[in-house]
A and B are shown apart, each in its own frame.
Chain A
Amino acid sequence: MTVVEKILARASGLPSVRAGDVVEPRVDLAMSHENAALVINQFQEVFEGTGLDAKVWDPSKIAIIFDHRVPAESPKTATNQKKIREFVAAHGITKFHDVRGDVGGICHQILPEFGYVRPGSVVVGTDSHTTSHGALGAFSFGVGATEMASAWALGIAVNVEAPATIRVEVKGAFPPMVGPKDLILYLIGQLTAQGANFKVLEFHGETIRNMSTSGRLAICNMSVEAGATSGIVPGDEETIRYLREEAGVVGGIDCVGPDADAQYVRTVEVDVSALVPQIACPHAVDNVKPIDQVLGTRVHQIVIGSCTNGRLDDLADAAALLRGKKVAQGTRMLVFPASSRIFGQALDKGYIHDLMKAGAVVMNSGCGPCLGVHEGALGDGETALSTTNRNFKGRMGNPTGFVYLCSPVVAAASALTGVITDPRKA
């Protein structure tokens, strides 16, 4: 069995599962953000007329994190958040992260950071980037609000067709100024935006084994941009280190690997030792080009942050390039750390100071400009270069804008010049 087949077998109480089997795994963690407002509405509809008490199956297994529009940008959002708070209190949901500067942040950073995700677990989330948590060896996938309401009521994911798996073998050491973001962009370019639709990307190889959990989160996060149900890195020593040292997890951690005779629909091999910085060009994430094809493109807004690349190492890389220098005139730079904890660590290490002295605006942790609902919108015809995960038309709040996606070092090097710049030559 593949890793996901094994996880599904265990969670469904079956001796084995094969791709294509229909199973109903128990849910170990059910995550929502502000769209819990819709989940609550659908959840209440489920119980309407049944005569049953509208109770969630297990309040300790539900996580709700406010991140999409924090602090609220409108009375409507604030009222949604208020309703969710009331529901959280009424149902005794403990894994709740409100708008806070100590324990707040983006859901895809909060879940790993607080040790809510373990290898071998089944995670569902009402967010397509729930694929992120495969970085910790979990089977973690995005669902809609009604499907989440069903999970809240039943404690299982109903009628799940076990996905087939693509094995991704990655070898080689990254050259300087090239890293996990370049790897996943390159891979999405190769696979295309639907190349992994209904499939899992299972990552292997020395490059993955040597990669930090931060990097693994970035590649699993963006697996959905190739259409994948989930990305997954089988749990290993690094997973255990991260959970023990950074998430404070005590007790058993059970890493699940694939069987030697696991069946894959396809194996993709990548050697990163000659990889160059990659850029996803407007308006599709699979429109990926090596950086030399877009060098010199004028950029009005640089964005570093998000659930993809707003972690401490990302901020450290950006600060190292910007320290003692200035963001180019005519270009604005926005930085939003992935969590309040990371924000605090970046403060302690001086990265925030470096970035602000260079001219960057450092914003509170949240989804910020990434999805164009809150702050950091583009002006008509403007161009952004961003470490986020999507560049669809209109994504940064303006359908006439252009969004290019890149790694933190490309974004930082380009902030200094105001045009897309190769960090290897900066």
Chain B
Amino acid sequence: MAKVILKLENDISTDDIYPGRFMATVLPTETPQFAFFDRTDFNAKLRAGAFAPHSIIVGGENFGCGSSREQACSTLKGHRVAVVARSIARIFLQNSINLGLPVVICPGLEAGEGDELEITANQVLNRTTGRAFDQVQLPAARKGIMDAGGLIPYTQARLMARGS
């Protein structure tokens, strides 16, 4: 079980998650400081380590729309949070899978800040409200990448297979 630490509306852009003015910072070790930077209070709590690992950010429809900046995923991964959203924009979803940021697509999800969620293989259970919501499985096309633990190890394996 994990707590919802932030509940967001629809169409949260990668500009919101990681503002453009910090894009010159690229390394995954350096990006976490700028997560949701313009949501000042939340950013301060993240940086202070106020949340337990695996805490959940709940998004609405089209989470992560806009820019392809991968910093939007590495910044969240650095804080060891997971994203559960009603739907996720294509590039953000693929970047999340590639980097191993935990994401769950759950079209009917209803959850508020402070709720405790349990994520099973096929559902998201809101233990606070007692309601259960079905997940949409992540794209099967990307299963190989998920199983390999991300796109870097996956590409490494493909290269090695080619070399031999």
Q: Write the residues of chain A forming the contact surface with B, with a CB cutoff of 8 angstroms.
A: 22, 34-35, 37-38, 41-42, 45-47, 49-50, 52, 68-69, 74, 76-77, 80, 126-128, 130, 142-147, 149-150, 153-154, 158-161, 193-194, 197-198, 227, 229, 284, 286, 371-373, 390, 392-395, 397, 399
A80 adjacent to B159 (CB under 8 Å): no
CB distance from B105 to the nearest CB of A (A): 11
B15 adjacent to A146 (CB under 8 Å): no
**Can you report 14 A-B residue pairs in the complex whose CB atoms are below 8 A from each other?**
A22-B141, A38-B26, A38-B27, A41-B26, A50-B160, A126-B68, A127-B67, A146-B95, A158-B151, A158-B154, A197-B62, A227-B89, A227-B90, A229-B90
Determine the chain A residues whose CB is within 8 A of the CB of B45 once the complex forms: none
Binary per-residue interface labels of chain B (113-144) against chain A in the complex, 1 for a CB within 8 Å, 0 otherwise:
00000000000000000000000000111101
In chain A, what residue has the closest Cβ to B87?
A: A194
CB distance from B65 to the nearest CB of A (A): 6
| Contacts A68-B23, A80-B24; A153 near B91 (Cβ below 8 A) | no
CB distance from A192 to the nearest CB of B (A): 8
CA distance A147 to B154 in the complex (A): 11
A150 adjacent to B68 (CB under 8 Å): no
CA distance A246 to B71 in the complex (A): 36
In chain A, what residue has the closest Cβ to B145?
A: A159
Determine the chain B residues whose CB is within 8 A of the CB of A37 once the complex forms: 26
| Contacts A77-B24, A197-B89; A52 near B163 (Cβ below 8 A) | yes
| Contacts A144-B94, A393-B15, A394-B19; A194 near B89 (Cβ below 8 A) | yes
CA distance A393 to B98 in the complex (A): 27
Determine the chain A residues whose CB is within 8 A of the CB of B150 once the complex forms: 146
CB distance from A365 to the nearest CB of B (A): 18
**With an 8 A cutoff between CB atoms, is B13 at the interface?**
yes
B62 adjacent to A144 (CB under 8 Å): no
A158 interface neighbour in B16, B70, B145, B156, Cβ under 8 Å: B145
How many B residues touch the partner, as a band? 35 or more
B151 interface neighbour in A146, A161, A229, A392, Cβ under 8 Å: A146
**With an 8 A cutoff between CB atoms, is B82 at the interface?**
no
| Contacts A34-B24, A80-B24; A395 near B15 (Cβ below 8 A) | yes
A390 adjacent to B87 (CB under 8 Å): no
In chain B, what residue has the closest Cβ to A287?
A: B11
B95 adjacent to A227 (CB under 8 Å): no
A50 adjacent to B27 (CB under 8 Å): no
CB distance from A395 to the nearest CB of B (A): 6
In chain B, what residue has the closest Cβ to A22?
A: B141
In chain B, what residue has the closest Cβ to A196?
A: B90
| CB under 8 Å from chain A, chain B span 63-120 | 65-71, 73, 87, 89-91, 94-95, 98-99
A128 adjacent to B67 (CB under 8 Å): yes
CA distance A84 to B24 in the complex (A): 13
CA distance A284 to B15 in the complex (A): 12
Determine the chain B residues whose CB is within 8 A of the CB of A38 once the complex forms: 26-27, 70-71
| Contacts A144-B98, A159-B141; A372 near B19 (Cβ below 8 A) | yes
CA distance A62 to B47 in the complex (A): 37
CA distance A43 to B26 in the complex (A): 13
CA distance A145 to B21 in the complex (A): 18
In chain B, what residue has the closest Cβ to A152?
A: B155
Determine the chain B residues whose CB is within 8 A of the CB of A76 once the complex forms: 24-25
Determine the chain B residues whose CB is within 8 A of the CB of A69 once the complex forms: 24
B152 adjacent to A42 (CB under 8 Å): yes
CA distance A80 to B73 in the complex (A): 20
Determine the chain A residues whose CB is within 8 A of the CB of B144 once the complex forms: 159
